[in-house]
Chains A and B, each alone.
Chain A
Amino acid sequence: MTRLELRDVRKSFGALEVLAGISLDVRAGEFVSILGPSGAGKSTLFQLLTGALKGEGSMRFDGAPLDGARFAFMPQRDALMPWRRVIDNATLGLEVQGMKRRAARERVAPLFAEFGLAGFERAWPAELSGGMRQRAALLRTVVQQRDMLLLDEPFGALDALTRAAMQRWLEGMWQSHRWTALLITHDVREAVLLSDRIYVLSARPARVVREVAVPLPRPRTESAALAREAAAIEAGILDTLLGQPPIRVPDHPMEN
C-alpha cells in the first residue's frame, strides 16, 4: 500500500530553483532513502513535508492530500534539549501532543533498554556519547507514534566508527519494528545498507535521476557475499552521482 506519494514537487527560493519536480512513493513498512549531493535540497524536501515550507506539486498521504501530523521528524544532529534530562527529551513529542509529563514518562521508560539507554533516563544529554544521543533522538522520534519517520542525515555528525555501529543498530531496530521511513543521506553505503529503495537526486535544482531497488536480504552486514552485492550497487550509485558512464549494475541480486 502506498502511503506517501509525491508528484512533481517543486520549490524555488526567489530565482533559485531548489527542487525541480520530485516524484516518489513510499509504501507501508518500507525504508526509502533519498540520496543526493550536499546542498541538493534534500532538507528542503523534508521542510515541505513537515509543513515548515510551502511548495508546488502534489503531496498525498494514504491517498488524501497531506495534512499536518503524519510524520515524526528526526533532524540533522540530534536537537536534544540540553536543559531536559534524557527521559524528558524522549517525552517531548508526546507532551506537545498534550500528554501529561508523568504519563509520557511511563510510556517512554520501558523503551530505554531497547534503545541502549537503560540507566541513563535521568542523565543530561551532555553526559551521553554521540551514539547514545542519536539513539535518544530516535527514541524521541518513534514514540510519537506517527505514520512515518523522516530521518534527516541522522548520523551525519558522528565519527565513522560510531556511524557504522549506529547504522547496524538502526537496521536491527527497523527489522523488528518495520517503521515506514524516509531517510535523507549523502552516504551511499548508509543508503544501501538501510534501504529497500533509493531515490538518487541530482545536484541543485534537484530531480530524481535514478531509482534503485535494494533487494538484498536482511540483516545485510552478515555475509561476505551480501557485502559484494552491496558494493556493486554502491558503485553504480556513485557513478550516477559523479556523472560517470554507468557500468552495468544488476537491479536484482546476483546469485553467487
Chain B
Amino acid sequence: MALIRPFAKILPAALAFALLLTAWELCARLGGIAPTVLPAPSRVLAQAWENRAALAENTLPTIRATLAGFACSLLAAFTLSALVDFLPRLRRALFPLLIASQTLPLVAIAPLVVLWFGFGLLPKILLVALVTFFPMMVALVEGYAATSMEISQMLAAMGAGRWRIFWAARLPSALPYFFAGLRISITYAVVGAIFAEYAGAAKGLGIYMLSAKNNFRPDLVLAAVAVSSVLTLALFGLAVLVQRLAMPWENAGSEGKSDPDAGGRA
C-alpha cells in the first residue's frame, strides 16, 4: 500500500496531462495546422532530442543563474527579515519600498538591468532575486510574529536574551511560513532567469527561445519551455524534500501515542 499510494495520488494529474497532450496532438495532426504555427507534441519531443546538445548547453547557464540568484535572494530575505524583526521601525521604512519593487513590470526592468550590468551573470542574479525575494521575506516576517507568546515568555523567564529567543523560538516558529513562501518564490525563479536572458545574454534558455522564435521554430521554443517547466518542477520537488528534512517533527504524532500510566504514579 505504501508504494501504491503515491501513484494513486498523482494518477488524476497524470491522466489530465496525457489527455491534454493527446488533444493537442490530434488538433495539430488532423486540423491541418502548419508545424511552423502549432507543432504537435511528438514533433516538439523529436526536435528536442535532435537538438539536445544545444538545449543542454543553454540550460546550464539558466540553472546557474537560477541557483545563484535564488541563493542571493534567500540570504537577503533572511538577513533583512531578521533585521526587521529586531528593528520594527526599519520594517515601516522598508516594507513600502519592497512592495513597490513588486509592482515593477519585468518586461521593462529586465532590459534596463541588462543595460546597467551587462550580459554576464550579475543582471540575471538580480532579476531572479527581485522576483523571488518578496514572498520569502514576507513569510519569514509573518512567521516570526507567529511565535507563541507562552514560549517567548517562558524563555524570557529562563533568562534568555533577544538573540537567544530569536534563534530558539522565533526562527523555528517561522519555518512552516518560510517554506510556504519558498515554494511560491521558487516557481518564479526559473521564469525570472529566462526573462533576464531574453533581455540579453550570450547563452541560456531565454536567448535560445528568442532565437528559435526568430527562426520560425515554435517547436524548439516549446522544447525550451518544456525544459524550463521540468526545471521548475524539480526545484519545487527539491523545496518539498528540504522541508521534510528540515522539519521532521511535522509528520510526527498525527495520531498521538497513548499514555500508558497517566494515573499510576502518585
Contacts and interface: CB of A to CB of B under 8 A. Distances in A.
Interface of A: 47, 50-52, 68-69, 71-77, 79, 81-83, 92-93, 96-97, 116, 120, 123-132, 144, 150, 162, 164-166, 168-169, 171-172, 219, 221
Nearest to B249: A124
B172 A128 contact: no
Interface string B233-266: 0000000000000011100111011110111111
Contact of B259 (A52, A79, A131, A144): A131
Nearest to B261: A116
B21 interface: no
Given A79-B148, A124-B253, A126-B249, A52 B157 contact: yes
A97 B153 contact: no
**Interface-central residue, A50, A76, A82, A131, by most chain B CB under 10 Å:** A82
Contact of B253 (A69, A74, A128, A150): A128
30 contacts: A51-B157, A52-B153, A71-B157, A73-B157, A74-B154, A79-B148, A79-B150, A79-B154, A81-B172, A83-B172, A93-B158, A96-B155, A96-B159, A96-B164, A116-B261, A120-B257, A126-B254, A127-B252, A127-B253, A127-B257, A129-B256, A129-B262, A150-B157, A162-B262, A164-B263, A169-B262, A169-B263, A169-B265, A172-B265, A219-B266
Given A77-B150, A92-B168, A166-B262, A50 B157 contact: yes
B153 A165 contact: no
A79 B155 CA distance: 10
B138 interface: no
Contacts of B164: 96
**Interface-central residue, B156, B257, B258, B259, by most chain A CB under 10 Å:** B259
A116 to B, nearest CB: 5
